[in-house]
């Protein structure tokens, strides 16, 4: 705990408390068949069930639907959630929700589906102009006025932790940038997490969503400590991205240890159910952690890596439009960023590298950035992640535009343990062009 005492040292006029908001979670094999009873307990009688076109053909939606039907609940299915949603796809989902007059929501899918369901619930429950609730400075950042209808989230990827967070992410097409809506009211009322859903995931989806888990845990663990923010004027102004804190640290450490043990196995062998079960648990732990601390620069930089995509089309994702899947768009920045942030809290960077399975014997504070970057790069290579932002189609000439997009992500950048400037972001992208 020596490092924690130091990291969370109190300072006059600064924040002295942290908040813990946790989703209500049921984790284990077979839990999707319990959806009906949970829904009834939450007072649902007419439910909008959100999924996507691929999942609509897999058995999980059927399990949830029949459980709801057995509980006497009416269900209308929306299977047009877009993989990596946009403002347009959120609005289409919101129209479906508003027209159906539902008293409950269920999502069965990855982060794309769960986030679509959150947005649909939000705009149907508290109608507003689309940009009103979107994070400033891209949107108006207005607070969500009150609770939404209850939402049961059933994740089917081992990654985003969206079932535990009050965040919904989308691509704002007019600005070619990803951003989001963040409010405690967006957090699902219940999460039903069946790790067996991961057995049908393509390897690339496990790799991308697995590195999303890793980045959530590593960014939360190295985030600016909550004690370095100015004290909020009143408790309701305490942000969800409150910074690293002792509660989030517990989930980050546990998740990073599981990833060190199981990420490579879970990506490279779909039959390794032990590995995939543990990746799902790591996603849950990291989701609980970062939902209470916030992520920082690798995620901030990811939103323009994803938003400005030209023609990267990874296997395992729907064919058609180019995308850089979220977890890939984050981890391609990560070694460059952690080389930069290491000096702000070197002991935390070294500890994390060790939990991930890296060699840390004899490492000094000066080595911290290299130690963690080396382990991340080894794991990226072992799971066939693209080689930096160059590997997903960007060159040196794209760096100013990438940095401009990332600079708009102030909610994330201010959570960094070391101050970042717009010029500094250009350096970080240059450092992320290629790693090997």
Ligand X SMILES: NC(=O)c1ccc[n+]([C@@H]2O[C@H](COP(=O)([O-])OP(=O)(O)OC[C@H]3O[C@@H](n4cnc5c(N)ncnc54)[C@H](O)[C@@H]3O)[C@@H](O)[C@H]2O)c1
Residue numbers at the binding site for ligand X (CB under 6 A)? 52, 54-55, 58, 83-85, 109-113, 115, 156-157, 159-162, 165, 167-169, 197, 200-201, 205, 208-209, 212, 317-318, 326-327
Q: Which residues contact 259 (CB under 8 A, 6 or more apart)?
A: 210, 213, 214, 217, 279, 282, 356
For the bound state, the minimum distance from the C-beta of residue 368 to ligand X, rounded and expressed in Å, comes to: 26
The partner in contact with residue 59, picked from Fe ion, ligand X, none with C-beta cut-offs of 5 to 8 angstroms by kind, is none
User: Minimum Å distance from CB 148 to ligand X?
Assistant: 14
Select 159 or 354, whichever has its Cβ closest to ligand X.
Answer: 159
Q: Which partner from the list Fe ion, ligand X, none does 317 bind, CB cut-off 5 to 8 Å by kind?
A: ligand X
55 binds, among ligand X, Fe ion, none (CB under 5 to 8 A by kind): ligand X
Q: Cis before residue 137, ω within 30 degrees of 0? A: yes
Tokens found for residue 276: 């995939």
Residue 304 interaction partner, one of Fe ion, ligand X, none, beta carbon < 5-8 Å per kind: none
Site for Fe ion contains 212 (CB under 5 A) = yes
Half-sphere exposure of 348 (CA within 13 A, CB side): 30
Output the smallest distance, CB 85 to ligand X, in A. 6
Mark the segment that binds Fe ion (CB under 5 A) among 45-53, 62-70, 142-150, 204-212: 204-212
Taking residue 1's Cβ as centre, other Cβ atoms within 10 Å add up to 8
Residue 180 DSSP SS3: strand
Report the alpha-carbon distance of residue 346 to residue 338 in Å, rounded.
10
Shortest distance, position 34 Cβ to ligand X, whole Å: 18
Write down the least CB distance from residue 210 to Fe ion, Å: 11
Whole-angstrom distance, CA of residue 251 vs CA of residue 221:
9
The whole-angstrom separation of Cα 406 and Cα 237 is: 24
* Residue-by-residue DSSP string for 410-426: HHHHTTSSS---HHHHH
Stretch that binds Fe ion, among 10-18, 209-217, 350-358, 367-375 (CB under 5 A): 209-217
User: Which tokens hold the place of 313?
Assistant: 């089309």
> At closest approach, how far in Å is the CB of 11 from ligand X?
30
Which residues form the interface with Fe ion (CB under 5 A)?
Answer: 212
């Amino acid at each position: 705990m020596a490092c924690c005492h130091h990291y969370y040292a109190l300072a006059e006029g600064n924040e002295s408390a942290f908040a813990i908001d946790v989703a209500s979670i049921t984790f284990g094999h077979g839990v999707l068949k319990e959806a009906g009873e949970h829904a009834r307990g939450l007072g649902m009688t007419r439910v909008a069930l959100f999924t996507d076109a691929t999942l609509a053909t897999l058995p999980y939606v059927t399990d949830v639907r029949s459980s709801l039907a057995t509980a006497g609940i009416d269900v209308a299915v929306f299977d047009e959630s877009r993989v990596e949603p946009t403002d347009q796809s959120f609005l289409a989902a919101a129209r479906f929700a508003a027209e159906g007059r539902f008293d409950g929501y269920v999502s069965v899918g990855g982060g794309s589906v769960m986030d679509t369901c959150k947005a649909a619930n939000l705009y149907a429950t508290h109608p507003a102009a689309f940009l009103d609730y979107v994070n400033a400075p891209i949107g108006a950042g207005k607070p969500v006025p009150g609770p939404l209808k209850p939402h049961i989230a059933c994740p089917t990827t081992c990654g985003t932790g969206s079932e535990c967070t009050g965040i919904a992410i989308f691509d704002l097409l007019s600005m070619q940038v990803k951003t989001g809506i963040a409010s405690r009211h967006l957090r699902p009322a219940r999460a039903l997490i069946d790790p067996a859903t991961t057995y049908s995931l393509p390897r690339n989806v496990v790799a991308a969503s697995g590195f999303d888990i890793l980045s959530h845990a590593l960014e939360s663990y190295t985030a600016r400590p909550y004690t370095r923010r100015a004290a909020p004027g009143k408790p309701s102004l305490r942000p969800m991205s409150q910074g690293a804190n002792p509660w989030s640290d517990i989930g980050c450490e546990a998740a990073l240890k599981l990833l060190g043990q199981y990420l490579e196995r879970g990506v490279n062998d779909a039959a390794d159910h032990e590995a995939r079960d543990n990746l799902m648990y790591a996603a849950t732990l990291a989701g609980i952690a970062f939902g209470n601390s916030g992520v920082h620069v690798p995620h901030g930089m990811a939103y323009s890596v994803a938003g400005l995509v030209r023609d990267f089309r990874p296997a395992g994702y729907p064919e058609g439009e180019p995308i850089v899947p979220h977890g890939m768009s984050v981890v391609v920045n990560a070694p460059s960023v952690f080389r930069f942030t290491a000096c702000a809290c070197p002991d935390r960077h070294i500890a994390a590298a060790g939990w991930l399975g890296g060699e840390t014997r004899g490492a000094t504070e000066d080595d911290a950035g290299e130690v963690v970057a080396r382990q991340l790069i080894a794991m990226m290579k072992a799971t066939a992640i693209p080689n930096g932002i160059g590997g997903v189609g960007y060159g040196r000439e794209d760096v100013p535009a990438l940095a401009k997009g990332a600079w708009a992500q102030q909610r994330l950048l201010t959570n960094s343990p070391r101050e970042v400037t717009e010029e500094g972001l250009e350096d970080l992208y240059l450092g992320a062009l290629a790693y090997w």
